[in-house]
Chain A
Amino acid sequence: MHDITVVDLSRLQFAATALYHFLFVPLTLGMSFMLAAMETVYVVTGKSIYKQMAQFWGKLFMINFALGVATGLTMEFQFGTNWSFYSSFVGDIFGAPLAIEGLMAFFMESTFVGLMVFGWERLSKGQHLAVTWLVALGSNLSALWILVANSFMQDPQGAAFNPTTMRMELHSFQQLIFNPDAQSKFVHTSIAGYVTAAIFVAGISAWYMLKKRHVDLAKRSFRMAALFGVLATIGVITLGDALGFVAAHAQPTKLAAMEALWKTEPGPMPFNLIAFPDQSLQQNKGAVRVPYLLSLLVTHSLDGSMAGFDTLQKKAAQRVENGIPAVQALETLSKDPHDAAALAQFKTHEKDLGYGFLVQRYAPELDKVTPQQVQEAAKDSIPPVAAVFWSFRAMVGFGLLMLAFFVMAVLYTLRNKVQDKRWFLIAAAWMIPIPFLANEAGWLVAELGRQPWTVFGVLPTWMSASTHSVGYMAFSLIGFVLLYTVFIAIEMYLMVRSIRQGPQEPGGGGRSEPGPRPQPRPANAAAVSGRYQEG
């Protein structure tokens, strides 16, 4: 039997480490393609300033990349260490994309990133460009496989429960990878990374322009970031809409939580622009509503309707009732795998197995379930509404803000006037934290909205955790907090320092901070300066 405190601590640890990891990943996803774009211009035009750009932004990329790799290791471990039942229950499906990620994507990214950094002098221009493109492709393919795995948790397609082995097993690999949730979520996340990188580059370039340092390099970086960003932001918003459409079918509870919709209403439905959801009373304490908008957003029509929590909870209660015999049949089958009656009973109730597990939290012995416990389990099927509702609004709000920013940035930079707009440059620098906040909010919507399940409708979160003691969990949580705090402090320090130092320019021009660099020895001076003049 699981200790709910341990489950909650495991959730806290997973959320904390995943959110932390997700600070670094989007920047890697987008920055790698921006580096590829810069280097492509360098190779096509032969102008060395683009090589400087690729090298300078490449340096910042690597500071970020190191922490992304390091914290990614934690994620790979944690399914086994803290979610062992989850891992054995769906490992047959979930493990495969993770392994393929390593094999197909992470190897590519990591092997070529070494060449990207160390290979400037050993590779031809064309080879180095190919290497940079492969790093970008590798890091994004990596995201693809991780999100294929994640989508199985959101919308478990292509798998079925096998009572002989007591676990979920793969039935169709194609359904797993072409899952609509996987498709739209991958594109949404990858392109959100592009937006993150574009704001990062635009913000830092704006700061250089404000300080009148490295202006040529900053202007070009800003131009590329603005165009890169405006297209990417449009993409993110389009895909966000697509994701909502997918969720409407696969995860109605998540969608209802995003909209704080407690009661089903006939269309046309108004949209809760602002609302204060109360989970225990199951209603909103005050809301600002926009007529027609919800129907338009969710069903892409003016009079469409969607289910609210009143309907959804009733359905959940029925499914709990229907799921109980499925779990009981499994218990019989575990003692005698050849019991035909139990197998038949399981087959009849199979589709609600997960809801049977859901009520086991309140009623470990399923032959003594009370109607009250069924209701409690049904109520559990509602995710934390306020958190999902507000994370969603934060994400969308930040997204629209960034779209407005990029549209202005493109207008200014295309007229080559951005360096004169002081207020806009200051605003650009202040925009840097926004995409990071939006990314984290997006993670919260996706994963909090999935609760109370780890695999939606199939495996409840409370069952998925490992059977550890509270002491173990305290030990690991404290360890993570200490380590990760030190890491982020070091990373931020090095990042800020590298930005202040700025790019190396030919002949050291524009370096405001000479610093205690070792002077090149005469014998090497030619070789060193030659490096920056080539091309």
Chain B
Amino acid sequence: MALYAILQVIWWLLLGVLLTGLAVMVGMDMGVGAILRYVGRNDLERRVALNIIGPHWDGNQVWFILGGGAVFAAFPLIYATAFSGFYVVMLLLLWSMIVRPLGFEYRSKLAGEGWRNVWDWSLFVSGAIPMIVFGAAIGNLFHGVPFHFEWNITSVYTGSFLALLNPFAVMCGLLSLALSVMMGALTVMNGAEGEMRERASTLVRIGAIAAIVLFAVGGFWVHGMAGYHMDANPGAGVPQTPLEQSVTVASGAWFTNFGAYPALWLVPALGFVGMLGALFAAQSGRSHLGWWLGALAWLGVIGTAGAALFPFLLPSSSNPDMSLTLWNASSSRLTLAWMLGFALVFVPLVVWYTSWAFWVMRGKVDPRRIEHDEHAY
């Protein structure tokens, strides 16, 4: 049993790592999409911005696919309940995301101004909307969502689409958007020169300040919010269904973990340090350092949410007793063990060759080259 509990916690941590990877790598590309029309004032400048992430967006997007796959494999009940419950939101996310590969690949294949403008705007939409949905989805975890299970663990969602867009969730969405704008702008600073770099630097400032404010406001908001408290469950590392526990709703319950383990305050602190660091680094022109600090900020933000929610993953607002936790929603011991084996081999490998790809394509993107390269975006 102990081994199973350890595997569950490891996968909970790994989920955090994968979500952070998703937020950092996909978030920066989406940030570039969201700021494309501001940071690039003419077609050539926009192409420079697109070609900065051009060789990498596809690889980065796999973090998103892997995030989905890992939730499916390690926490199948979360995948089943959340994806079907958030049906309309998920489809909006999906549809905005599937426009993106085409935006990159097809935009510069034809010269017409109208054609390129349409793709620019679709890249904007497919950058901004998924990041808002990503943040809003995490925001909704704090409120809980209305669902329950039938005797055979068929999940039934009873809420409406609009309820998912409550004020707190929207605020979390904006936080996520602000961070991705910051990261996108830092990426543009890394790869562009002159005026574009100046404009990107302004956007880093806007994004970072907005993120700092929203993260702080979010903290106070959650403090006054009704949270969930686990009263009894079969225990960690015991195979179980979500029908066997009792949960109460109490104001301020999301701060229980921070009260019990004050060291956890370092996690939100890491978020603030990352955002402030990215802000100052960008101001002094050191955008690469800023990018790494921005990645740290994401880790802090996602870590804060995870630390507050633990052991909950998806609380149910209509039937709190049926809330999903990492103890009752995870895969079996054997699956978690096999998956861990694969993750231990392949995550370092992926990080290694991704770094190599970035190293190969390092340096500034030359606008003159783009004009003559038929492979350029």
The reply, when asked whether chain A contacts chain B directly with Cβ atoms under 8 A, is yes
Q: B261 interface residue, CB < 8 Å from A? A: no
Q: B180 interface residue, CB < 8 Å from A? A: no
Are B76 and A112 in touch, CB under 8 angstroms? no
Which residues of B have CB within 8 Å of A100? 69, 73, 339, 342, 346
Which residues of A have CB within 8 Å of B157? 467
Are A173 and B334 in touch, CB under 8 angstroms? yes
Per-position binary interface string of chain A over residues 93-106, scored 1 when its CB falls under 8 Å from any chain B CB and 0 otherwise: 11110111111101
Top 4 closest pairs, chain A to chain B, by CB: A91-B76, A80-B83, A95-B73, A111-B59
Cβ contacts A to B, 14 pairs, < 8 Å: A80-B84, A87-B83, A88-B79, A88-B80, A91-B80, A99-B72, A100-B73, A102-B62, A111-B350, A113-B58, A114-B54, A164-B239, A331-B151, A467-B156
* Cβ of B219 to closest chain A Cβ, rounded Å: 30
Q: A122 interface residue, CB < 8 Å from B? A: yes
Find residues 285-341 in chain B having any chain A CB closer than 8 Å to their own CB: 331-332, 334-335, 338-339
A149 to B334: give the CA distance in the assembly, Å.
17
Are A487 and B153 in touch, CB under 8 angstroms? no
Which residues of B have CB within 8 Å of A165? 239-241, 332
For the residues of A in contact with B, the DSSP-based class is: helix
* Cβ of A458 to closest chain B Cβ, rounded Å: 14
Which residues of A have CB within 8 Å of B106? 63, 66, 490, 494
Which residues of A have CB within 8 Å of B338? 96, 170, 173
Which residues of A have CB within 8 Å of B199? none
Per-position binary interface string of chain B over residues 358-376, scored 1 when its CB falls under 8 Å from any chain A CB and 0 otherwise: 0011000000100110111
Are B87 and A102 in touch, CB under 8 angstroms? no
* Cβ of A356 to closest chain B Cβ, rounded Å: 11
Q: A171 interface residue, CB < 8 Å from B? A: yes
For the residues of B in contact with A, the DSSP-based class is: helix
Answer whether A115 and B360 are a contact pair too, CB < 8 Å, given A59-B374, A85-B80: yes
Q: B42 interface residue, CB < 8 Å from A? A: no
Of A27-35, A69-77, A431-439, the segment with at least 4 beta carbons within 8 Å of chain B is A69-77
Per-position binary interface string of chain B over residues 125-167, scored 1 when its CB falls under 8 Å from any chain A CB and 0 otherwise: 0000000000000000000000000011111110000000000
* Cβ of A9 to closest chain B Cβ, rounded Å: 13
Which residues of B have CB within 8 Å of A69? 58, 61, 101
Q: B111 interface residue, CB < 8 Å from A? A: yes
Are B342 and A162 in touch, CB under 8 angstroms? no
- State which of B59, B91, B105, B155 has its C-beta within 8 Å of the C-beta of A66: B105
- State which of B69, B98, B361 has its C-beta within 8 Å of the C-beta of A102: B69
A497 to B111: give the CA distance in the assembly, Å.
13
Name the interface size band of chain B: 35 or more
A84 to B154: give the CA distance in the assembly, Å.
8
Q: B243 interface residue, CB < 8 Å from A? A: yes
Are A475 and B88 in touch, CB under 8 angstroms? yes
Are A74 and B94 in touch, CB under 8 angstroms? yes
Q: Could you tell me how many residues of chain A have their Cβ less than 8 Å away from some Cβ of chain B?
A: 88
Q: A42 interface residue, CB < 8 Å from B? A: no
Which residues of A have CB within 8 Å of B99? 70, 483
Residues on A lying within 8 angstroms of B by beta carbon are: 55, 59, 62-63, 65-67, 69-74, 76-77, 79-82, 84-89, 91-96, 98-104, 106-108, 110-115, 117-120, 122-123, 162, 164-167, 169-171, 173, 330-331, 334-335, 337, 463, 466-468, 472, 475-476, 479, 483, 487, 490, 494, 497-498, 504, 516, 518, 520-521, 524, 528
Instruction: Give the residue name and chain of the A residue nearest to B67 (CB).
Output: A102
Which residues of B have CB within 8 Å of A164? 239-241
Instruction: Give the residue name and chain of the A residue nearest to B363 (CB).
Output: A122
A81 to B91: give the CA distance in the assembly, Å.
8
Which residues of B have CB within 8 Å of A99? 66, 69-70, 72-74, 339, 342
Answer whether A476 and B87 are a contact pair too, CB < 8 Å, given A85-B80, A103-B342, A170-B334: yes
* Cβ of B133 to closest chain A Cβ, rounded Å: 12
* Cβ of B361 to closest chain A Cβ, rounded Å: 6
A419 to B376: give the CA distance in the assembly, Å.
34
* Cβ of B353 to closest chain A Cβ, rounded Å: 6
* Cβ of B10 to closest chain A Cβ, rounded Å: 15
Answer whether A476 and B361 are a contact pair too, CB < 8 Å, given A108-B353, A330-B152, A490-B102: no
* Residue among A93, A331, A520 with most chain B CB within 10 A: A93
* Cβ of A60 to closest chain B Cβ, rounded Å: 12
Are B350 and A118 in touch, CB under 8 angstroms? no
Q: B1 interface residue, CB < 8 Å from A? A: no
Q: B68 interface residue, CB < 8 Å from A? A: yes
A170 to B336: give the CA distance in the assembly, Å.
10
A72-B65, A85-B80 provided; 12 other pairs, C-beta below 8 A? A70-B98, A76-B68, A77-B68, A107-B346, A115-B55, A118-B375, A334-B152, A463-B154, A467-B154, A467-B156, A468-B84, A518-B371
